[in-house]
Structure 1
């Protein structure tokens, strides 16, 4: 039993020498969703608090990302989140892709699939009330309609 504990402890110490990269890509205000869509301050605050750590280039890494393997798990979530939707580079998406991303935002918020339950463990302030979910959904629907209108007029 002592040997197992020693091996686990040594392995834990060794993996600490493999930290994650916490460097965020440089800010791109001209491509950021909140800027290009002139998002109202109240909605922008909700999105920044509940979405931006995983779905933007503005990740604030919590203290536990200094400890492996938790840091690896968090970094994977961030990479996956940015891959699926990156609010920081929203303007580079083609208009039809923007529509698709907005549809996904509406669905994820309404079905309570985002933010992830696991995210709440370290971010209680990110938990959305039903009222906030309704406001976000309504806002994403409005932006989607505006985008659809823009697409139709540009044909």
Structure 2
């Protein structure tokens, strides 16, 4: 990392996300070219993401979540508590929040958005202690993003 690095990024990777097994090195390199010093933490279960943010918040200037809507939601309350900005690398199935915010689905282009330091304030809601941003769902939306099961297609017709 060059001496020009001015911000420290805590990159949290969900290897179970749909694209979570893709190489992280090109993303880290892209962020580092944008003057970020990047520390990568993998997590195995969604509750770990909040614990990692709380545990490591003093070592970071921003949090980067590599995962889908579930990962982002799992990080949300800890991000709010830490007062750190959060970047999203959309590696999930639907990536609904990333799409709503016009974050590129291309991982390197999403890293460029973070490296450029673009900030946008958004609202957050909670239901039973669980955070949500632009939509609350009980799981059908993920099935829709994957492609409806033939029995669901027959039952619900053409959705989306």
TM-score (norm 1): 0.26
Higher relative contact order (CA 8 A, sep 6+): 1
Select the structure of larger CA radius of gyration: 1
Bigger helix share:
1
TM-score (norm 2): 0.26
Bigger strand share:
2
